[in-house]
Amino acid sequence: MCWQTVWHLYIQYQLYWLQETPDSRLLLAISALMLMTQRVSSLSLDLQEGTITSSFQNSSQDLSVLIPFLSYSLNFPALLGGPLCSFNTFVQSVRQMSVTPHLTPYLRRLTSKILQVIILVWIKYPLKELLKSITFRVNSPCVCQNIIWIWILSLLLKMNYYAHWKVSECVNNAAGIGFHGYSHSGKKSWDGFSDGSPWVTEALSRPSAFARQWNRTTAVWLRRMVFKRSNISPLFMTFLFSAWWHGLHPGQILGFIIWSVTVQGDYKMHHFLHPMLTSKWRKWLYVCLNWAFTQLTISCVVVCVELQSLESVKLLWCSYIAVLPLLSVLIIIIL
């Protein structure tokens, strides 16, 4: 993690001090290093918790016992873009390669995921055109104009992530990894390695639920790595650690602070309002308003994290959307 941080700080030195664009090959290498950090730390937790399959726990002088651990840590498809899984899940998936000789269901599932990638990439084009048609104006008299612009920008950025995660699933499945046993209907499931469904994630009506589903395997890793092991403000420490892992850019730090405040406010608000949701129309109204609130607050987070620099702060400050994170702070104080 420290070695990864050194390279992240070097990128910031290039961006903000030298005003240079980092080499794309360096960025790809650091991305792979971030994913390797995940896998090595996950393996370390597995060893500490004693969850490693017993066949690998036997003491042996044979160095071949290290091969499964090296295969897990240096698995090439996963280092291209994830997703993360436990060591036992990886070993079981590799062992089951020979258990799935029929290619027809496998190819059908792979084709389905490729079509999803095409749809996600296609969605980006109308979003780009829509973004161009709306002008972002500082101190615009129209309250909704800048809010809609930032929301569409965040959707466009999220589509990049969704497409990337789905491509990663395809690459792992094409390598024969990701078989997850059989469903209740007896069909083979190839969703063993998945960062979640974009359609499910975008339909969520609570910021806390969105945080658990967004980049799902990384969220599980953060929960296991920090949240369950921290005695002081576990929620805040988890998001702060996530900012550290992502690169500690100013926009990233602000984005994850906003996210932690929003999630904490969501817990308090839900606990306060839940006893009052006694009728269907109240529940329906609560879900609709909370979905809109979730979309807009996550837009603040995504824009800050993706733009990385302090320009994202100026962008939010020039829009009324900045009121929403402040509203979460107010909820925490009052409730």
Q: What is the pLDDT of residues 246-273, one digit of tens each?
A: 999 999 999 999 999 999 999 999 999 9
The per-residue pLDDT of the chain, averaged, comes to: 88
Helix pair angle (250-273, 280-307), 10° resolution: 170
Tokens at 212, concatenated: 């658990």
Locus of tokens 């971030």: 34
Query: Which is catalytic among the residues 164, 180, 246, 270?
Result: 246
pLDDT at 315: 78
Tokens at 326, concatenated: 């402040």
pLDDT at 191: 66
pLDDT at 182: 63
**In angstroms, rounded to a whole number, what is the distance separating the alpha carbons of residues 31 and 79?**
8
Q: Do 309 and 16 form a contact (C-beta atoms < 8 A)?
A: yes
Q: What is the pLDDT of residues 182-217, one digit of tens each?
A: 666 666 666 667 888 899 999 999 999 999 999 999
SS (H, E, C) 274-329: HHHCCCHHHHHHHHHHHHHHHHHHHHHHHHHHHHCCCHHHHHHHCCHHHHHHHHHH
Q: Do 27 and 206 form a contact (C-beta atoms < 8 A)?
A: no
Q: What is the pLDDT of residues 140-152, one digit of tens each?
A: 677 788 899 999 9
pLDDT at 93: 80
Query: Which is catalytic among the residues 146, 215, 249, 290?
Result: 215
Contacts of 5 (CB under 8 A, 6+ apart): 244, 248
Per-residue pLDDT of the chain (335 residues; tens, 9 = 90+): 899 999 999 999 999 999 999 999 999 999 999 999 999 999 999 988 888 865 555 555 566 778 888 889 888 888 888 789 888 888 888 887 765 556 777 788 888 889 999 999 999 999 999 998 887 776 667 778 889 999 999 999 999 999 999 999 888 888 777 766 666 666 666 666 788 889 999 999 999 999 999 999 999 999 999 999 999 999 999 999 999 999 999 999 999 999 999 999 999 999 999 999 889 999 999 999 999 999 999 999 999 999 888 877 777 877 888 899 999 999 999 98
Tokens at 240, concatenated: 């702060």
pLDDT at 49: 87
- Whether 146 is catalytic: no
pTM for this prediction: 0.91
pLDDT at 62: 63
- Whether 75 is catalytic: no
CA end-to-end distance (rounded Å), the chain: 37
Q: Dihedral angle at the C-alpha atoms of 29, 30, 33, 34, nearest 10 degrees? A: -140
